[in-house]
Amino acid sequence: MADNHGNTPAAWTAVLVSLVGFVIGGIGISLSPVNWTLFWVGAVVAIGAGPLFLILAKVGLHESGH
């Protein structure tokens, strides 16, 4: 396993964006009646964390700090 496994700005940013997406989607599902628009906004935000990670890794934010 790499020394920088999960301990880089790119990884932390992607995890936080994904978490925000899941929270938004969860709130949308929890409302009565279900707010599908809010759910899908959360899904798009959570899925967007993957490409965001790749972009941040390409600009060098997934490098080891040592």
66, pLDDT greater than 60 = no
Task: Indicate the pTM of the whole model.
Answer: 0.84
Q: Rounded distance, CA 40 to CA 56, Å?
A: 24
Q: Identify the residue whose tokens are 């707010």.
A: 35
CA torsion 7→9→15→18, rounded to 10°?
A: -170
Q: Rounded distance, CA 59 to CA 24, Å?
A: 28
Asked if residues 42 and 26 have their Cβ atoms less than 8 Å apart, the reply is yes
35, pLDDT greater than 80 = yes
22, pLDDT greater than 80 = yes
Q: Give the single-character DSSP code of 6.
A: T
pLDDT classification of 57: cutoffs 50, 70, 90: very high
- pLDDT tens across 40-56, in order? 999 999 999 999 999 99
Kindly state the percentage of the chain with pLDDT values over 70.
86
